[in-house]
Amino acid sequence: MQSNNQVKQVKVATWTELQDRIPANALIADVDLVIIRYDNQVSVFFGRCLHRGALLADGYIEGNNLICGLHFWDYRFDTGVSDYNNEERLQKFSSWIDETNNAVYVDENEIRHWTNENPQPYDRNSYLGKYADIHGTPEEPHNNYISELARNGLKNFGHHGQTSAMGVPLTELPRWDGIQIVTAQLAHRPLMDDEPVKTKLAIGYGAKKPLVLDIPIFVSDMSFGALSAEAKTALAIGAEMAGTGICSGEGGMLPEASDQRFRRYLHI
Ligand code: FES
């Protein structure tokens, strides 16, 4: 409750009509609220999901959480904090129960004060009204366009509707997102497919004893124990024949691992 405001007590629900752990809605100062009675206590929160603004009074209670009915985001019904991500928290408004008058009250001034920082965008008399999706997501780039058509028809586009240059459909034009730039190719021009290349490489060029491989492929890290002694030895011999090495894995090691004939690297 804002201490610098006078309390303006308004009834938000009839106490005995609230069902235990069944979310109820209310509208105060043009702010949707969700009210949850649990045993002999009550919580009043901002009534819209922080994800896409769904009405939380359309959700349900599961355990200690108020669950949004659309994509199941959760909020503790006593604190408004999301169990899943504690950074997300529904605004909780002051509320109190007056059993004599059979009412739950909130402070309208507190809610109005909150709307200064959180103006509510819903035009309740227009198309979609309180169910409008004011967020949208990158996965749904055309929702606003569809809503505009539903709201105003072609009034704002002219009778041809939306057009783009030369009639090329926007979705078929190349986009930056579709171009993959291989940064290595910015430094050296790539070779043609049939040009011979050296595959030899060294790991640790500046080291006293760099690990030199004939090919940029090695036998991966499966330790002795995961593989039998015979399999490890066979793979080491095969790797050596191919001009590369074998990784120790992080488990057991064979005594032969120190055999200088093999290029081995230690998995740490
Ligand atoms: S709108 Fe509530 S979870 Fe998506």
The ranges assigned to domains in the chain are 9-117, 201-265
Residue type, 53: G
Is residue 233 helix, strand or coil? helix
Give 219's strand partners: 246
Indicate the pairing of strand 201-203 with strand 211-213. Answer: antiparallel
Note the pLDDT of residue 150: 84
Per-residue model confidence (pLDDT) at position 32: 97
pLDDT (average), residues 87-98: 96
* CATH fit for domain 9-117, picks 2.102.10.10, 3.20.20.70, 3.40.30.10, 3.40.50.300: 2.102.10.10
DSSP-derived letter for residue 82 is -
Q: Is 256 exposed, middle or buried (0-12, 13-18, 19+ CB in 10 A)?
A: middle
Structure tokens that stand for 72 in this block: 């199941």
- Please tell me the distance between residue 55's alpha carbon and the centre of ligand 1 in angstroms: 9
The shares of helix, strand and coil residues in the chain, as percent rounded to the nearest 5, are 20, 25, 55
Atom of ligand 1 at shortest range from CA of 59: 2
Ligand 1 pocket test, pick from 68, 84, 130, 137 with the greatest ligand atom count within 8 Å of Cβ, gives 68
Cβ of 52 less than 6 Å from ligand 1: yes
Nearest CA to ligand 1 atom 3: 71
Best-predicted range by mean pLDDT among 43-47, 137-141, 253-257? 43-47
Which amino acid, 106?
Answer: V
The predicted structure's pLDDT at residue 2 = 45
Q: Separation of 150 CA from ligand 1 center, angstroms?
A: 23
Between the CA of 100 and the centroid of ligand 1 the distance, in Å, is 37
